[in-house]
Amino acid sequence: MNGEMAQLILVTVVTAATPLFLAALGELVAERSGVLNLGVEGMMVMGAAGGFAAAYVTGSTLVGALAGIALGALMALLFALLTVVFAVSQVASGLALTIFGLGLSGLVGSGFVGLKRDPAPHLSIPGLTDLPGVGRLVFGEDYFVYAALALAVLVSFVLGRTRAGLVLRAVGDNHGSAHALGVPVRRVRILAVLFGGACAGLGGAYLSLAYTPFWSPEMTAGRGWIALALVVFASWRPWRALGGAVLFGGATVLQLHAQAFGIGLPGQFMSAIPYLATVLALVLLSLRRRAGSVAPAMLGTAFVPDR
């Protein structure tokens, strides 16, 4: 395998990892506030449908991305109203959100099935993008990839270095104490959930605008569930989530290149590899984890103020 082929495979891995990372990053923030949103798949597929529809009608990738963000955030707002305001079960609400999103996305995208558009533009820097070995990988990705990396830097900085991050983590670890100190727990959680929905919507829009520039029903194909597992795999840390996304993206790409390398395994088994890798990673992480959990203490626990 020559250098160009290796670079092409690595570029494909990054492309496959980006939607997983975006969705996982948003869910990580939501979970650090103590909210478990199992509706990531539904928010992603709505972002994919709405993003493609908006981009196809307007001819603008940026408009499509913003539409995906908006639809993901709207879905998250519905979830936040149910779970944060009315204290409905987070697990049941998340599952319902996924089912609702899958159905609604089919309706939103029904008029766009089979249509195609140009993929999202890629960065092109004369003299750098054409560098052998790393040019396309470092200086030739689409703009979504660089936006995801910038978002990771921002989230990591806010969570670890700012008062807002400290408040968010305090709400996730002990919402009762945070409330007693005057922290608006519900507001913090709603904003965190909205951010998670926006990231999931952007990840879904990436699928239909850059990864495969067309819309097909249920095109997320379980990536929302992988993103949920990725948050656990990353121990609720942004940069570990990036590494995990690349790992699972590589598992996805492996099935695409298996036949080219002459791996004589059934296609159905190769398609299952990313999900098997997810399960295996979670099992290994569980076996290696020492006593005590690194998860936010209030994760999945509704907050009902007593005064």
pLDDT tens track for 94-119: 999 999 999 999 999 999 998 989 98
Segment 119-127 shows an average pLDDT of 87
CA distances (Å), 147 to each of 27, 64, 125, in order? 17, 15, 17
Residue 83 or 256, more confident: 83
Q: pLDDT, tens digit, for every residue of 39-62?
A: 999 999 999 999 999 999 999 999
Three-point CA angle 252, 225, 71, nearest 5°: 105
Element (H, E) at 169: helix 163-173
The confidence band for 295, taking pLDDT boundaries of 50, 70 and 90, is: confident
What percentage of the chain has pLDDT greater than the value 70? 88
Q: Determine contact, residues 165/171, Cβ cutoff 8 Å.
A: no
Lowest pLDDT segment from 124-133, 207-216, 272-281: 272-281
Paired tokens of 301: 């626990």
CA distance linking residue 184 with residue 298, whole number of Å = 15
Residue type, 279: V
Three-point CA angle 78, 80, 85, nearest 5°: 110
DSSP structural state of residue 212: S
Q: Determine contact, residues 11/18, Cβ cutoff 8 Å.
A: no
- Binning the chain into helix, strand and coil, the percentages to the nearest 5 are 70, 0, 25
Residue bearing tokens 């009608």: 57
Paired tokens of 87: 């204290």
Three-point CA angle 82, 87, 89, nearest 5°: 80
Question: What pLDDT is attached to residue 291?
Answer: 46
Question: What pLDDT is attached to residue 17?
Answer: 94
Q: pLDDT, tens digit, for every residue of 154-169?
A: 999 999 999 999 999 9
pTM: 0.92
Residue 103 or 295, more confident: 103
Question: What pLDDT is attached to residue 227?
Answer: 93
